[in-house]
Structure 1
């Protein structure tokens, strides 16, 4: 298995870096971006296209999830190792939770507020329950090797987990905390994105340079989409999929109906995290190597702005509010 420092396209301390559709405003007022090299989380004012606040978060912050009310951010710290809890309105860290292994991917149950953290070095998810303004560890869920991206269905009943070293996706029953199905996908799935309305999920397969399309009802892969080199995360907007390609510094665009590539959009070096606004008008891409966030117009498929941020932006997860 590759180390946390080697997991992305670049060697640096910490780990390499799911874009999960959530209850966002029609657009999005802020982006909450982990800047791993700067050991911080930056809050971007998206209207002003600039950094509005920087919150120190030691431990090479990487993954991010937001609480159901969008007021709290949960950030994985692989070099902690552990988790940081941030009050986004107060712009400060309110607590930390130590965790063993390599905390990486993270997701929050939209119904219960339970937080799930993937252990990159293991075959497990950590389960953390909200209590008295903090998170309390409450057991583990066994999954495949090197879990990365996590998604939770809108009803909070089912988890999907991309297992990078196993080349599979785990389907997990949230109530029983048991893996119920294992779906083979491409080589080294990393980011996992859910389209609950369409009954599909998408994994970005880093080593096979493609996206696996999963039918949730039958729990099987039903197609593949070719991408650029080293795809990492998928976002959905306007009937299209958008995939960050780290080695080609691009975003591959494909049609969700035909599963055919549409175009490739040039962005910054080593793009990783990507998320779409709820209305599907814009996408935001964290460029790990360029220290920028690219803004993509989903209609014209062009980059409209580049927002300068701190060193090593990752934003692996749910980061728009």
Structure 2
């Protein structure tokens, strides 16, 4: 049985949301990458293709989410267990918060700043409210078994949670903190991604080697996309989906309109976290097995750079700013 820090990987291991988006650059200037093997978080200068700073974070850091203003990073520490709070500009940890169970997946509500942490060993999300520069525990939300990836709609009203051991996605009303729908998907969904309109969600199903496409309003799966072995997370850019395939060291690219695979892009060993720049021109892939971050041109579908990083980059979540 794998430990929590290995989950999803190999056997090792007040501005409104719209105003905030308008204030952000279209391109990504930095990446906040959890390097699990080195017990650290690295800040990458994406233009230079270098590590600009390294911040020690013990406890096998894995998941990452950024605050609405993109100045604070929240990092899960499965072997803590708990959470670390980082000031990205100051390049330092400003606080830690112990959490029971197995904190792994994490997301931040873009409208309220509320942070949600998935308990891998339970059937719950921890709700954490920002207050005076830190986070305060503020209850729990019941979901399915082994919740992993979390996605939040731009207006902050809806949460979607991939329940790995239940083979389902939970739809949560953020205001009432109640599960409103349970959607069957592929086998062992891990990462979940919601499009900008909040209409479709995509889960990477680790054991069925495919992506489930969900119509959020209808509350049902409407299609499947075949991927490489052990898909992890999906990013969306330029009308395409980009799926990290852990065991085939590739990224499967598929058309969002037709749901047909287009090609597989070779990247580093054991790719995991993936995210697209806001303008969709670049896709960034954390390669856990060979300690690099690959940069993909979303138009040409070619790898333009491989940035060396520390040991075991995971970057599971929202890691670009």
Instruction: State TM-score, norm by structure 1.
Output: 0.96
Could you tell me which residue of structure 1 aligns to residue 145 of structure 2? 145
Could you tell me which residue of structure 2 aligns to residue 224 of structure 1? 224
Contact 1:5/1:11 (8 A) holds in 2: no
Q: What is the CA–CA distance in structure 2 between the aligned matches of 1:136 and 1:86, rounded to whole Å?
A: 15
The question of 1:127 aligning with 2:127 is answered: yes
Q: What is the CA–CA distance in structure 2 between the aligned matches of 1:136 and 1:197, rounded to whole Å?
A: 30
| 1:161-172 equivalences in 2 (<5 Å) | 161-172=161-172
Contact 2:5/2:60 (8 A) holds in 1: no
What's the offset of the Cα at 1:264?
A: 0.1
Q: What is the CA–CA distance in structure 2 between the aligned matches of 1:135 and 1:5, rounded to whole Å?
A: 23
Could you tell me which residue of structure 1 aligns to residue 275 of structure 2? 275
Contact 2:2/2:11 (8 A) holds in 1: no
SS in 1 for 2:38: coil
Alignment coverage as a number of residue pairs: 313
What's the offset of the Cα at 1:169?
A: 0.2
What's the offset of the Cα at 1:198?
A: 6.2
What's the offset of the Cα at 1:7?
A: 2.4
Instruction: State TM-score, norm by structure 2.
Output: 0.96
SS in 1 for 2:293: strand
Could you tell me which residue of structure 2 aligns to residue 191 of structure 1? 191
Contact 2:154/2:198 (8 A) holds in 1: no
The runs of 5 or more residues in structure 2 that have no matched partner are 14-19
Structure 1 residues 50-105: Cα deviation after superposition (integer angstroms, max 9, x where no partner) = 00000000000000000000000000000000000000010000000000011000
SS in 2 for 1:162: strand
Contact 1:253/1:263 (8 A) holds in 2: yes
Could you tell me which residue of structure 2 aligns to residue 182 of structure 1? 182
Could you tell me which residue of structure 2 aligns to residue 115 of structure 1? 115
The question of 1:213 aligning with 2:209 is answered: no
SS in 1 for 2:90: coil
What's the offset of the Cα at 1:11?
A: 1.9
Assess, with a 3 A threshold, how the Cα gap between structure 1 residues 57 and 6 changes in structure 2: closer, same or farther. Answer: closer
Could you tell me which residue of structure 1 aligns to residue 34 of structure 2? 34
Could you tell me which residue of structure 2 aligns to residue 301 of structure 1? 301
Structure 1 residues 223-266: Cα deviation after superposition (integer angstroms, max 9, x where no partner) = 00000000000000000000000000000000000000000000
Contact 1:114/1:130 (8 A) holds in 2: yes
SS in 2 for 1:37: helix
What's the offset of the Cα at 1:196?
A: 3.6
What's the offset of the Cα at 1:197?
A: 1.7
| 1:235-274 equivalences in 2 (<5 Å) | 235-274=235-274
Could you tell me which residue of structure 2 aligns to residue 71 of structure 1? 71
Greater than 3 Å deviation, 4+ residue runs: none
Structure 1 residues 161-205: Cα deviation after superposition (integer angstroms, max 9, x where no partner) = 000000000000111111010000000000000014261000000
Q: What is the CA–CA distance in structure 2 between the aligned matches of 1:113 and 1:197, rounded to whole Å?
A: 19
- Normalized per residue, the structure richer in helix is 2
What's the offset of the Cα at 1:6?
A: 4.5
What's the offset of the Cα at 1:3?
A: 3.4
Could you tell me which residue of structure 2 aligns to residue 19 of structure 1? none
